[in-house]
Amino acid sequence: MTSRLNRLAVALLATALTTLGLTVANPAPASAAMTICYNTSQAGSYASVANQAATIWNNATVNLTLTANCGSNLRIYRITGGGSYAVRTSLGNGRVYIDTQQAAQYSVLRIMTHEIGHILGLPDNYNGNCSLLMSGGSAGTSCTNPYPSSAEASRVSNLFAGTFSATDRSADIFRDSWPSTLTPVS
């Protein structure tokens, strides 16, 4: 009996040490929260839209905070023609381009939060579902929803907590989320 208890005690001690070791090796998740400084110096009249999109993402997620003009993790550009798109250089870093022509067709806030979503690790999901942010223009011009679904938001939170695959953190370019609805001249 005594030896069984001793073995139990040793096992518990080992577990405690392992837990302690892991705690020392990996800082608490809270300390790993990333501040994403977004820069609106090139955003022109869309700077306020960027601020709204940042608030939406900050309210929907944990482990990251989008903050205006404290640095340049993310640069926001107002462009005309060529389509809105995002260039992710790494998770939380990159550039977002908002096309004024598409902003005249689709909700500019939905475009902004969608493109920032790419910077935050989300891929496109063109299934036409307006309740999803990453369905982009596939949900049509009448869809003005600028909010990520709970699944989209929790995926971002988990990505910034350090879980999920490296693929979602890698450099990538996301184009063609907002197809032109103009009738081509034939």
Cite the active site residues: 115
Q: For the CB of residue 96, give the shortest distance to Zn ion in the complex, in Å.
A: 10
List the one residue from 77, 88, 92, 124 that touches Zn ion (CB under 5 A): 124
Confirm or reject binding of residue 99 to Zn ion (CB under 5 A).
no
Choices 27-35, 62-70, 132-140, 146-154 (CB under 5 A): range interacting with Zn ion? 132-140
Kindly state the smallest distance separating residue 173's Cβ from Zn ion, in Å.
10
73: tokens are 């993790």
Distance set, CA 55 to CA 15, 91, 145, 165, 173 (Å): 42, 19, 15, 26, 24
Q: Number of residues in contact with Zn ion, rule: CB under 5 A?
A: 4
Indicate whether 177 belongs to the interface with Zn ion (CB under 5 A). Answer: yes
Nearest to 141 by CA among 107, 100, 97, 175: 107
Q: Please, what is the minimum distance in Å from the beta carbon of residue 88 to Zn ion?
A: 11
Instruction: Tell me the backbone φ, ψ of residue 161, rounded to 5 degrees.
Output: -80, -10
Closer CB to Zn ion, 105 or 161, in the complex: 105
Using DSSP's 3-state secondary structure scheme, residue 13 falls into helix
Which parts of 34-93 interact with Zn ion (CB under 5 A)? none
The amino acid present at 139, given as its one-letter code, is A
Q: Which is nearer to Zn ion, 62 or 172 (by Cβ)?
A: 172
148 and 158 Cβ atoms separated by less than 8 Å: no
Q: Is 174 in the site for Zn ion (CB under 5 A)?
A: yes
Instruction: Let me know: does 135 contact 148? Beta carbons within 8 Å.
Output: no
Distance of alpha carbon 102 from alpha carbon 88, whole angstroms: 20
Q: Return residues touching Zn ion (CB under 5 A).
A: 124, 136, 174, 177
